[in-house]
Structure 1
Amino acid sequence: MRLANKFAVITGAGSGMGRAGALLFAQEGAHVVVADLDQKAAEATAELVRGKGGEAVAVAADVSTLSGNELIVRTALETFGALDVFWANAGVAAPMSPVAEQSIDFFDTLMGVNAKGPWLGARAAMPALRERPVSSFIITSSLSGFRARPNNSAYSASKGAAIQLTRALSVEFAPEVRVNSVAPVSTETPMLRTFMAKQDDIEGTIAGQRAGVPLGRLALPEDIAKAALFLASDDAEFITGVTLPVDGGISARS
């Protein structure tokens, strides 16, 4: 098992990619802290992990605050005694719309969760991660951080910041902690339809996106979880500062 006797935190693990990651990490031997803003969702994921024979504890926390991230790390240390992996996966989306129609307050929310959240996570987690012989910090960025498209400026800005944060932290915390990120294409999670909320034909727009992926489909939560597992594991022991596209081949067209 690739994470045997490892202790991991996953934020935004109440659903989607984070939930898939919690299940996969536990399957690979990790003890998991399931963190989410929604306590019930976090508890549901932790129960799924335990139902499959894994070990998990749930915690409700706001990753856009330092206190929330410190609570998550403290929960890991008090429950398991150590921390080897921190996956800053929590994220928020905004309906695609022209910049003049996008809420200034929600721009701040996007940056607060998608960019400041991982920064605060690193601030809270690095002392514990540096105590372990091999440790990993992972950020969920997005293909939108690389590729511009109309009506997506706020989200793209937040994910572009997450990609540059990955690079900056990887240099700052080498050689003790590896820092990488995963950059999904549109993924079949509840968040997907949040992006499309202002589209006249939501399902048609999503079908068009699927048709544009060389491998013929959008990402599944499990695809992103598998990429994060690789980056968390010793298989990636000489990889840091990398943002890994999980995009079915779209980046090959750039």
Structure 2
Amino acid sequence: MIVNTLAGKVAMISGTGGGMGRSAALEFAAQGARVVGCDVNEKAADETVEFVREAGGEMVSLAADLTTRRATPAGRTWCSGAPHNIRAVSVSPGLIVTPATEPVMEAIGPDGIAGLVARTPAGRLGQPEDVARVAAFLASDDASYINGADIVIDGGITAVG
């Protein structure tokens, strides 16, 4: 179901071949954004394009490795973009269950996972959709006064130390 919270917006999302990037692409498209995605794994990113289109959304994808480029500091982006309704907001996910974190989960085992869950105020591990929903909100007009901020998405573990 398309909810037009992000209608008329274009979302540029990296890592759309899986995990949080794929979830973000699906969430942003479901809320009406046109998605431009990229990933080093072109085949996986193309699968995400298919999923988005099957759900009624719009998405194109590019094969790209963003680790080879130097990032523009958020402050500079904010200063130049703010007058044009471009905001710089980052999200800092904690441990999110994705294909990339499977080796960590296997290494710490069931007891280690249970210990993490016990120390997390939310009482569970994060899922890609948790991050995607926050990112979609931050891209919406409902978050238009949030700028130059970093949002931690970790189930409260940072707050309790």
Fold-level similarity (TM above 0.5): yes
Letter paired with 2:91: V
Q: 75, 83, 86: which one pairs with 1:175?
A: 83
Distance across 1 between alignment mates of 2:55 and 2:37: 15
Aligned to 1:23: 26
Distance across 1 between alignment mates of 2:33 and 2:95: 27
Aligned Cα RMSD in Å?
1.9
**Identity of counterpart residues, as a percentage?**
45
Letter paired with 1:186: L
Letter paired with 2:57: G
Deviations 1:202-242 (A, max 9, x none): 33322221221111001110010011001111111111111
- Scaled by the length of structure 1, the TM-score of the pair is 0.57
Which residues of structure 2 form unaligned runs of 5+? none
Which is further off, 1-10 or 40-49?
Answer: 1-10
Letter paired with 1:214: P
Q: 230, 237, 242: which one pairs with 2:149?
A: 242
Distance across 1 between alignment mates of 2:110 and 2:56: 37
Letter paired with 1:183: S
SS of alignment partner, residue 24 of structure 2: helix
1:19-58 matches, cutoff 5 A: 19-58=22-61
Distance across 2 between alignment mates of 1:6 and 1:192: 31
Letter paired with 2:33: A
CA contact (8 A) 1:193 1:202 kept: no
SS of alignment partner, residue 225 of structure 1: helix
Aligned to 1:70: none
Aligned to 1:252: 159
Deviations 1:147-202 (A, max 9, x none): xxxxxxxxxxxxxxxxxx434543454333210111112101112234457x4x43
Aligned to 1:65: 68
Letter paired with 1:58: S
Q: How many corresponding residue pairs?
A: 157
* Residues 241, 206 of structure 1: alpha-carbon distance in 2 compared, 3 angstrom cutoff: same
SS of alignment partner, residue 126 of structure 2: coil
Letter paired with 2:112: T
Aligned to 1:9: 12
SS of alignment partner, residue 174 of structure 1: helix
- Scaled by the length of structure 2, the TM-score of the pair is 0.87
Aligned to 1:135: none
Q: Is structure 2 residue 138 aligned with structure 1 residue 218?
A: no
User: Does 1 or 2 have the higher relative contact order (CA < 8 Å, sep 6+)?
Assistant: 2
Which is further off, 54-63 or 203-212?
Answer: 203-212
Which residues of structure 1 form unaligned runs of 5+? 67-115, 123-164
Distance across 2 between alignment mates of 1:55 and 1:172: 28
